[in-house]
Amino acid sequence: MSVWLVILGIVCHAVSGVPGLFVKRHSAAGQNIAAGLGLVGSVAGVAGALWSVWVPTLPTPAIKIDGISVMFLLPIFVIPALGGVYGLEYWKQADHPQNGRKLCFFYGLVTAALAAITIAANAIEFLVVWEIMALGAFFLITTEDEDPAVREAGWVYVVAAHMATLGLFALFALMHSVTGTFALVALPDNIASGVAAAIFLLAVVAFGLKAGVMPFHVWLPGAHAKAPSHVSAMMSGVLIKIGIYGLVRIGSLLPHPPLWWGGVLLAAGTISGILGVVFALGQHDLKRLLAYHSIENIGIIVMGLGLALMGRSLQRADWVVLGLAGALLHVWNHSLFKSLLFLGAGAVVHATHTLEIDDLGGLAKSMPRTALCFAVGAVAICGLPPLNGFVSELLIYLGLFRSLGIGAETPWAGVAFAAPALAMIGALAVACFVKAFGTVFLGVARSHHARHAHEPPPTMTGPMFALAGCCLFIGLAPLAVAPIMEQAVAAWDPQLAAGGPGLSALAPLGWVTVCGLALAGLLALGSAALAEMVHRGGTASAGTWDCGYAAPGPRVQYTSSSFAQMLVGLFAWVLRPRVETPGELSLFPGEARFRSEVPDIVLDGAMRPGFRFGARITSSFRFLQAGSVHAYLLYIVLFLILLLLWR
């Protein structure tokens, strides 16, 4: 039954954009039907997924829903449905007659494909839906394909996506050579260690490309920045998580992982985490900044996953439980608060028509509801209590600290050095989100766009409040979602999970609730006290004092680049910021300009030159590709004969 509900959900999403293709370009009917079908599909899908937590389903050759699938199915059904409702106003069909219908169609299709990937039980099915997802996302990113920058972002994405698919073909071919079947089943214990390592590394590269782990993140900032905001929310919230799903799934199928696998993931996660947030600090475009934060959070998730894999190598059930549960809960949390932030950024662009952080400011006055939601998302993404980001980071911290010989002695205390790195990621994230929230929503408007901002309608603020509510719920009552995580851990490594302590025994989830409520109580008390004292003392209002400066205008405010200047300077050795200063001023200075930007060094410094070099080498073989079908048929025949001879 639960399987059918999930399938109903997938079908609803897959067809949600189809009716819209047959209605008039300017009619809102198609989009309304799509949003409605999306909601229906999501209710069915969420119900089915939750049902299967309590009543496990029997796997069939085509479909398998286990604890890991459920962990991913829930955000896949929740986020796009909310995004669809948001899109009703944000990407009104009447305002976008050329591309609105295309957007709706691929939006539903990608959602359906994402859900189908998590329940696919064999490799062929997996690859088919994977490719639908990968190509559909290309059309979503290039919604506004009349803009060259959008096309550019789309091309970078499609190249990265196809490299990932290529890796997956190799991965599944290797797995087939070992198991003799395309079904996604556990590999035999006697697998050669070289083959196992090759499978693992292929998975890291292919799924890392999708998830955006540094240095495979090159497609991510451009694609997230150029897509419509509810598409960015869906991509950052759930699409990149499918890469994590792949890593988790393949990780569960490989027997006896050697220690260095987990070490590789832990190191890659730490590097992604730190560099992601450092690159985010240098950005001026709100959505680009958020995109780099996705790289950071994927890094945190991969750290947890690495810890869990090391736990499996060392037979430490506590590492497995804390690392994997932390990683999977962070998948949820990130999909909630990052979609919330992208929808908030969408509301900003809807109201001001710009995403340039340094042109904004003072929006908390004109858009108080959006500002509140964005603040909730910002606090949550920094991992601060009492919101959800804190809970998942707490689990990963506990796992890292336990490597110090707490619970049982291990020779691998070096793992604990990831804890200070995670602390640094947290502090850098606070810096970055104070910058983003402060420059966009606080202070005074820096341009006339920002001065004339207005609050978006409830179809846009509603989904944001729903997401903010989820962030608060998981932050205050993590015990409520613990059973789902425990089941996912049990599906990942049944043996260790059955023998070891459970999640609620290892993590102080009850205390998180107590302390969260205590904090809320203290905040309420403090606010009431301040309000009372302010009321009793009497208030006056005036301009900002600013040390007595006579005419503080909007231009004297700290901007996003001045706010981040010290940190960007500290990390200049990796960021390579490009700064244009006015140079020497004469006695009567004229107009001067200051510009700073932080380009992506991996894309601009390594990938582009690398691909150019590759193109130069391969262009000498161009004569083979003459455009004649007969010639291509000949090549195929020759190749097949060659294969026959070789066998």
The residues in 433-452 that bind other proteins, with binding defined as CB under 8 A, are 433-435, 437-439, 442-444
CA separation for the pair 351, 328 (Å, rounded) = 35
Nearest to other proteins of 114, 289 (CB atom): 289
Stretch touching other proteins by CB under 8 A, among 21-29, 190-198, 463-471, 504-512: 504-512
Closest to 464 measured CA to CA, from 603, 336, 560, 572: 336
Specify the residue, 499 or 526, whose C-beta has the smaller distance to other proteins: 526
Q: Smallest distance from the beta carbon of 248 to other proteins, in angstroms?
A: 24
CB 295 within 8 A of CB 212: yes
Minimum CB–partner distance for residue 534 and other proteins (Å)? 5
Which range touches other proteins (CB under 8 A), out of 5-13, 215-223, 397-405, 453-461?
397-405
* Cis peptide leading into residue 386 (ω within 30°): yes
Contact 234, 110 (CB under 8 A): yes
Binding characters for other proteins, 518-557, by CB under 8 A (x = yes):
xx--xx-xxx--x--xx-xxxxxxxxxxxx-x--x-x-xx
Q: In the set 97, 368, 457, 609, which binds other proteins (CB under 8 A)?
A: 368
Residue 514 to residue 393: CA distance in whole angstroms: 18
CB of residue 362 to other proteins, shortest distance in Å = 7
Query: Smallest distance, Å, CB 483 to other proteins?
Result: 20
Angstrom distance (rounded) from CA 537 to CA 528: 14
Residue 400 CB, nearest distance to other proteins (Å)?
9
Q: Are residues 500 and 320 in contact, defined by beta-carbon separation less than 8 angstroms?
A: yes
User: Is 212 or 362 the residue whose CB approaches other proteins more closely?
Assistant: 362
Contact yes or no for 114/76 (Cβ under 8 A): yes
- Residue 104 or 310 with smaller CB distance to other proteins: 310
SS3 category, 595: strand
Site string for other proteins, 552-591 (x = CB under 8 A): x-x-xxx---xxxxxx--x---------------------
Instruction: Using CB under 8 A, pick the residue from 424, 466, 477, 479 that binds other proteins.
Output: 424
Residue that has been written with the tokens 């150019």 in this structure: 612
Site membership for other proteins, residue 428 (CB under 8 A): yes
Residues whose CB is less than 8 angstroms from the CB of residue 463 and which lie 6 or more positions away in sequence, other chains included: 82, 83, 85, 86, 343
Which two structure tokens, joined as six digits, stand for 53?
């937590």
Element spanning 597, H or E: strand 595-597
Stretch that binds other proteins, among 24-32, 152-160, 335-343, 423-431 (CB under 8 A): 423-431
Q: Binding residue for other proteins (CB under 8 A) from 48, 67, 276, 362?
A: 362
- Does residue 266 touch other proteins according to CB under 8 A? no
Pick one of 97, 124, 457, 511: the residue that binds other proteins (CB under 8 A): 511
What dihedral angle (degrees, nearest 10) is formed by the CA atoms of 125, 127, 129, 131? -160
Per-residue contact string for residues 283-322; x = within reach of other proteins by CB under 8 A: ----------------------------------------
Least distance in Å: CB of 1 to other proteins? 39
Least separation in angstroms between residue 585's CB and other proteins is 20
Minimum distance of other proteins from residue 350's CB (angstroms): 20
Tell the smallest beta-carbon distance from residue 512 to other proteins (Å). 8
Distances (CA, A) of 69 to 51, 59, 136, 463, 580: 13, 12, 21, 24, 49
Q: Return d(Cα 20, Cα 33) in angstroms, integer.
A: 7
Neighbouring residues of 223: CB distance < 8 A, sequence distance ≥ 6: 137, 141, 153, 154, 156, 157, 235, 291
- Rank residues 242 and 364 by Cβ distance to other proteins and give the closer one: 364
DSSP state of 367: -
Per CB under 8 A, the segment of 43-51, 300-308, 371-379, 472-480 that binds other proteins is 371-379
Q: Nearest to residue 75, comparing CAs of 107, 111, 36?
A: 111
User: Which residue, 75 or 443, has its beta carbon nearer to other proteins?
Assistant: 443
The yes or no reply on residue 508 touching other proteins (CB under 8 A) is yes
